[in-house]
Amino acid sequence: MKAYIAIPYQGRNEIREELDTITSILNQCGVSPFVFADQYSFKAEEEKQMMQQAMEAINQSDWLIAFASEKAIGIGIEAGFAKGKGKPIIYIRHDKAEHSTTLSGISDYQIIYIDLQDLAQKLKRIVDQ
């Protein structure tokens, strides 16, 4: 199994601990994590190639995890595409982060976490189902 992890491109260094926690739990549960923003780099004029590559990666995944403690339009686009393809969506945000009604509305699971341990426990419960 493979999980596409959608994260905001800007500020990804600030979420490194959360991302490490998510990928660690997925690996423990036998799910291969795929972070598009960490795998590819595109120039501004390569937006069509970027989105084609993102859609291909989502097509090859079994889940989409939308990490949305920071709002980003791209995460919503990726999640909407995945939902249209019938992929389960996990919406994750910190309890102090602004709520995304659109991501929450299309998600199959929501994780609102307090700290890294809480995030790990809640994600493990979902992935182990």
Q: Render pLDDT for 65-124 as a digit per residue (tens, 0 to 9).
A: 999 988 788 899 999 999 999 999 999 999 999 999 999 999 999 999 999 999 999 999
Strand ranges (E), 7-126: 32-35, 63-67, 89-94, 109-113
Which backbone phi and psi does 114 adopt, to 5 degrees? -95, -45
Q: How far apart are CA 91 and CA 111, in angstroms?
A: 6
Q: Which domain holds residue 118?
A: 2-127
Whether 36 and 4 have beta carbons less than 8 Å apart is answered as yes
Total number of domains constituting the chain: 1
Answer whether 65's CB lies under 8 Å from 6's CB: yes
- pLDDT, tens only, 110-122: 999 999 999 999 9
Q: What is the CATH number of the domain that holds 102?
A: 3.40.50.450
pTM of the model: 0.93
